[in-house]
Amino acid sequence: MNSTKQFWTLLKFQSAVAPFAWVLPFAFCTPLMFMSQAEPSLNLLLLTQNLFLVLLLGALVLVPEIFTTASGNQTGGLGAEFILTRAVDRYMLARAKAVFFYIAALVAPLAIVIYSLRRPDLHVSIYPKLVQLDCLSHVPGSALITGNGGRSDIVSIPSGNVLIATWRTWEILALAIIVQVFVYVIHPFKHRRYFFWALILIVSFAPMLSTYSKRGSIPWDEHAFFCYAANQSYFWILAVGALFVSQIWCERRFGRLEQ
């Protein structure tokens, strides 16, 4: 059978049987609220509490049977059993699932990138002097300006809204790659569900760790953003390279997994 036809048939089927995947874009639209504010705080802009949704989406689309016991028995309505016993190539099924997953995960951040083009420049509040200096030294074109009421903590970042939107897209892409590899790694384990929920907890609470950074140090998420701003092309080359390598590995892995 024609591989291209098989791929499109599987992709269409995936989108039809996983309508829950389209809930995610709505959840990611919350940053739009902050974009409409004048002089928002940078740490508020970078705070992402809904990254765990990428994990849930990944598991539900790629290996829904992860939520069931790994007894090698039936997986209810969730598993890949039905589709794997049709006339499909395993690697093609893994590819169709992955494409659907990445589309569903990235559609909202990409929409936010487009939305940010309406008002690309950003005036953002960065209070600690150390963070201000880090920003000014890394982010091209950034400059201290005097804000409303003579405030001295305002930094102007040309195309800052676009920068933040693409940073968020990069974060989600990187997380999606990690999720895809992770779920295929833990798939054969008896207690895979617990490994998965542990990762959900880590990803959910990781952004909060930035609020506990030591006095006089730069929060890791802000520093990561500044590094991204300074080396965007390297970040994207790294992500796309990782995407290709992980995809090849996951397709092979899926071919060997039992249901």
Partner 1 sequence: MSDTPILIQNVSRSFYGVPVIKDLNVSIKAGSIYGFLGRNGSGKTTTIRMLAGLIKPDQGTVRISGNDPFLIGAEERQRLGYMSEKAVISPFAKVRTVLNLGRGLYPNWNSALADSLVAKYSISPKRRLTTLSQGSQRIFSFILAIAPRPNVLLLDEPAANLDVVARREILDDILELIRDCGCTVLFSTHILSDVERVADEIGILANGTLRVSEQLDSLKDSIRQVRFYGFKNGIPTGEIPGSYRTVRSKDEIIVTMRINAEATADAIAARWLCEQETRALNLEDIFVELSRN
Catalog residues that contact partner 1 under the rule CB under 8 A: 1, 5-6, 8-9, 12-13, 16-20, 71-79, 81-82, 84-90, 92, 190, 258-259
Our CB check for partner 1 shows the closer of 188 and 241 to be 188
- For the bound state, the minimum distance from the C-beta of residue 10 to partner 1, rounded and expressed in Å, comes to 8
Our CB check for partner 1 shows the closer of 71 and 146 to be 71
- For the bound state, the minimum distance from the C-beta of residue 86 to partner 1, rounded and expressed in Å, comes to 5
Our CB check for partner 1 shows the closer of 12 and 119 to be 12
* Alpha carbon distance 105, 109 (integer Å): 8
Q: What is the DSSP string of 55-79?
A: HHHHHHHH-GGGGS--SSS--TTTS
- For the bound state, the minimum distance from the C-beta of residue 207 to partner 1, rounded and expressed in Å, comes to 31
Within 10 angstroms of residue 68's Cβ, the number of other Cβ atoms is 15
- Evaluate whether 203 touches 51 at the Cβ level (below 8 Å): yes
Our CB check for partner 1 shows the closer of 78 and 200 to be 78
- For the bound state, the minimum distance from the C-beta of residue 54 to partner 1, rounded and expressed in Å, comes to 20
* Alpha carbon distance 56, 203 (integer Å): 11
Our CB check for partner 1 shows the closer of 8 and 234 to be 8
Our CB check for partner 1 shows the closer of 92 and 113 to be 92
Our CB check for partner 1 shows the closer of 31 and 64 to be 64
- For the bound state, the minimum distance from the C-beta of residue 183 to partner 1, rounded and expressed in Å, comes to 18
- For the bound state, the minimum distance from the C-beta of residue 193 to partner 1, rounded and expressed in Å, comes to 15
Q: Which residues fall within 8 angstroms of residue 67, CB to CB, at 6 or more apart?
A: 59, 78, 193, 196
- For the bound state, the minimum distance from the C-beta of residue 18 to partner 1, rounded and expressed in Å, comes to 7
Q: Which residues fall within 8 angstroms of residue 229, CB to CB, at 6 or more apart?
A: 138, 139, 140, 157, 163, 167
